[in-house]
């Protein structure tokens, strides 16, 4: 097993912040992944998987864990018996490309979600009224004691959540999609991408939605906009002037800057709307939002 020490997580996260991982490994196969998980269990190490790092905020001080990045056959995509089969580390962009080439539709909603198959399962990622539960046939979950295929009902999927815990790694995903002509898929994707560009800071360094949308009509973004927070800065981090539920790395941001903005946004939303916003972004390392009371 090829362990790298001290690799800065800022290199593995879309926001571009985060200190060093105590150890980083790139398993290329299911066997290598299971070996890494057994090693972590034997050494008492916390396991953290990073997909595209598009919904994580890692502590500036670093993360004391064995960080896994799935590569090789764990990042491949193929079609088997009409199913799209992706490694846990396969990017949504590659999955969508393969699905379109095979004339398989239904994955289009994920065109603007810059993550991996495994990250999609873990977060139950979604957009435009659809999420992973609409397309997931089953997922192969690896642990230190072996691997098992789990049905969606066994994964505990709900709004932007799954029941997967640390040390449970999505190694492979099977998607059940429907026949759709590639030209139709292409047109649908172009429309969704254009819509995204209009409303979200797609060309900036962010970690996607900061907070989950609270129940009710008013989304987190609109709520924070009404709090006057668009463009608000702490250090190098800024609440996006385009969509207030995004934090942009405006240059030299630290995770502490992002966290400070999150703390302020939660206070303001509670003060103005009586709503407690819950984080969507996953914290890695020693990061925590203080209680509001």
Ligand X SMILES: Cc1cc2nc3c(=O)[nH]c(=O)nc-3n(C[C@H](O)[C@H](O)[C@H](O)COP(=O)(O)OP(=O)(O)OC[C@H]3O[C@@H](n4cnc5c(N)ncnc54)[C@H](O)[C@@H]3O)c2cc1C
Kindly determine how many residues on this chain lie close enough to bind ligand X according to the rule CB under 6 A.
Answer: 34
State residue 187 phi and psi, 5-degree precision.
Answer: -65, -40
180 labelled catalytic? no
Is residue 53 part of the contact set for ligand X (CB under 6 A)?
Answer: yes
User: What 3-state DSSP class applies to 20?
Assistant: strand
Contact with ligand X (CB under 6 A) among 18, 62, 106, 114 = 114
Q: What share of the chain is helix, strand, coil (3-state, %, to 5)?
A: 30, 25, 40
145 labelled catalytic? no
Is residue 49 part of the contact set for ligand X (CB under 6 A)?
Answer: yes
Instruction: Give min distance, CB of 271 to ligand X, in A.
Output: 27
Structure tokens at 193: 């991408």
Is residue 167 part of the contact set for ligand X (CB under 6 A)?
Answer: no
Closest to ligand X by CB, 60 vs 168, is 168
d(CA 136, CA 152): 7
Residues pairing with 234 in the sheet: 237
Contact code string over 270-289 relative to ligand X, x by CB under 6 A: ------------x-------
Is residue 255 part of the contact set for ligand X (CB under 6 A)?
Answer: no
Is residue 259 part of the contact set for ligand X (CB under 6 A)?
Answer: no
Q: Catalytic residue among 69, 138, 160, 268, which?
A: 160
User: What 3-state DSSP class applies to 159?
Assistant: coil
Contact with ligand X (CB under 6 A) among 20, 208, 221, 285 = 208
User: What 3-state DSSP class applies to 39?
Assistant: helix
State residue 249 phi and psi, 5-degree precision.
Answer: -85, 100
Q: Angle CA(183)–CA(139)–CA(158) in degrees, nearest 5? A: 85
d(CA 179, CA 291): 48
Is residue 52 part of the contact set for ligand X (CB under 6 A)?
Answer: yes
209 labelled catalytic? yes
Closest to ligand X by CB, 89 vs 185, is 89
Structure tokens at 120: 């999609």
Residues that bind ligand X (CB under 6 A): 14, 48-56, 70, 88, 112-116, 118-120, 122-123, 125-127, 164, 169-170, 202, 206-209, 282
Catalytic amino acids? 160, 209, 280
């Amino acid at each position: 097993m090829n362990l790298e020490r001290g690799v800065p997580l800022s290199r593995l996260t879309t926001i571009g912040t985060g200190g060093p991982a105590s150890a980083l490994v790139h398993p290329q196969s299911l066997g290598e992944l299971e070996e890494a998980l057994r090693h972590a269990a034997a050494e008492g190490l916390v396991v953290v998987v990073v997909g595209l790092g598009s919904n994580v905020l890692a502590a500036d001080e670093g993360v004391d864990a064995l960080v896994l990045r799935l590569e090789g056959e764990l990042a491949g995509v193929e079609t088997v018996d009409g199913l799209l089969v992706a490694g846990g580390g396969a990017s949504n962009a590659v999955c969508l490309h393969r699905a379109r080439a095979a004339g398989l539709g239904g994955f289009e909603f994920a065109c603007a979600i810059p993550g991996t198959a495994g990250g999609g399962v873990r977060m139950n990622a979604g957009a435009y009224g659809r999420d992973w539960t609409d397309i997931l046939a089953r997922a192969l979950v690896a642990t230190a004691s072996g691997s098992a295929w789990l049905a969606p009902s066994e994964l505990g999927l709900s709004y932007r959540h799954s029941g997967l815990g640390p040390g449970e790694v999505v190694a492979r995903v099977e998607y059940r999609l429907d026949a759709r002509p590639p030209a139709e898929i292409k047109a649908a994707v172009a429309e969704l991408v254009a819509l995204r560009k209009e409303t979200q800071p797609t060309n900036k360094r962010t970690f996607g939605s900061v907070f989950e949308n609270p129940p009710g009509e008013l989304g987190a973004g609109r709520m924070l906009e009404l709090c006057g927070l668009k463009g608000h800065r702490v250090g190098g981090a800024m609440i996006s002037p385009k969509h207030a539920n995004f934090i942009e790395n405006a240059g030299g941001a630290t995770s502490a800057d992002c966290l400070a903005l999150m703390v302020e946004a939660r206070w303001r939303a509670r003060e103005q709307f009586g709503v407690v916003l819950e984080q969507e972004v996953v914290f890695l390392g020693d990061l925590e939002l203080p209680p509001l009371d």
